[in-house]
């Protein structure tokens, strides 16, 4: 089936938008990064450790305020060799995006994995450690990447 169609061109001007976010979890996490620490919150009831740590436990639906520091070493949980960007364009230097479960955390952190030469030799379960930027300033980017140990 076909029909005559036409495109109407207009603008989508919503001007600047504002979005109120909860600062607690992000603030705690980036403050820790500045001091080269990985901080989260632990639920006193079920023991779940969230990194970054929200101020409530989604399992128990209660407020949590116990701040915990977790290890800077952990386990490679899953990874993908990124050969293209989100638009499908090939990237010149393939990199590995991964999820890591740091020892003592029940959450996964996402980042770039380094320390490999042939991605075929990278296996889930390998030990990794956090590598910091030379200068940390209290931003998510302070955590440079994960390195295979």
Partner 1 sequence: MNERVAVVGYKQTKHTIDSPVARERMVYELVKSLYHDMGITKDDIDTFVLASNDFTDGRTISEVFTVPRIGAYMKDETKVEADGLNAALYAYMRILTGLYNTALVIGFSMAGSEFRVPLTQSYTMDPAYERPRGIINFYSTAALQAGAYMKKYKFTDEDLAQLTLKNIRNANNNPFAARKDPGASVEKILGSRPLYLPLREAHVSTYADGACAVVLSSKKTAKKFTDKPVWIDGVGHFMDTYYVGDRDLLAMEHLTAAAKKAYKMAGIKNPKKEIDLAEIHTNFASEEPVLTEALGLFKPGSGKDVVKSGASAITGTLPVNPSGGPLGANPVNATGLIRLAEASAQLRKEAGQNQIKGAKTAVVHAQDGPGAQLNTVFIVRR
Taking the C-alpha atoms of residue 43 and residue 41, their distance in angstroms, rounded to an integer, is: 7
**Rounded least distance, CB 106 to partner 1, Å:** 14
Q: Closer to partner 1 at the Cβ: 19 or 90?
A: 19
Dihedral pair phi/psi, residue 92, rounded to 5°: -70, -40
DSSP assignment, residue 29? H
Best CA proximity match to 112, nearest among 73, 70, 88, 141 = 141
Q: Closer to partner 1 at the Cβ: 9 or 118?
A: 9
Q: Closer to partner 1 at the Cβ: 1 or 61?
A: 61
Residues 6+ apart with CB under 8 A from 7: none
Q: Closer to partner 1 at the Cβ: 36 or 58?
A: 58
**Rounded least distance, CB 29 to partner 1, Å:** 16
CB 51 within 8 A of CB 102: yes
**Rounded least distance, CB 82 to partner 1, Å:** 24
The contact set with partner 1 (CB under 8 A) reads: 8, 10, 12, 14-15, 17-22, 56, 58-59, 61
């Amino acid at each position: 089936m076909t029909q005559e169609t036409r495109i109407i061109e207009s603008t989508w001007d919503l001007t600047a938008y504002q979005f109120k976010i909860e600062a607690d979890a992000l603030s705690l996490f980036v403050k820790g990064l500045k001091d080269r620490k990985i901080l989260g919150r632990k639920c006193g009831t079920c023991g779940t450790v969230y990194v970054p740590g929200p101020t409530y436990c989604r399992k128990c639906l209660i407020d949590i305020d116990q701040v915990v520091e977790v290890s800077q070493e952990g386990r490679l949980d899953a990874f993908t060799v990124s050969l293209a960007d989100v638009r499908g364009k090939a990237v010149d230097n393939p990199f590995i995006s991964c999820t890591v479960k740091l020892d003592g955390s029940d959450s996964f952190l996402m980042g770039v994995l380094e320390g490999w030469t042939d991605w075929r030799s990278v296996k889930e379960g390998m030990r990794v450690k956090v590598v910091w930027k030379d200068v940390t300033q209290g931003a998510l980017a302070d955590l440079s990447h994960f390195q295979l140990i």
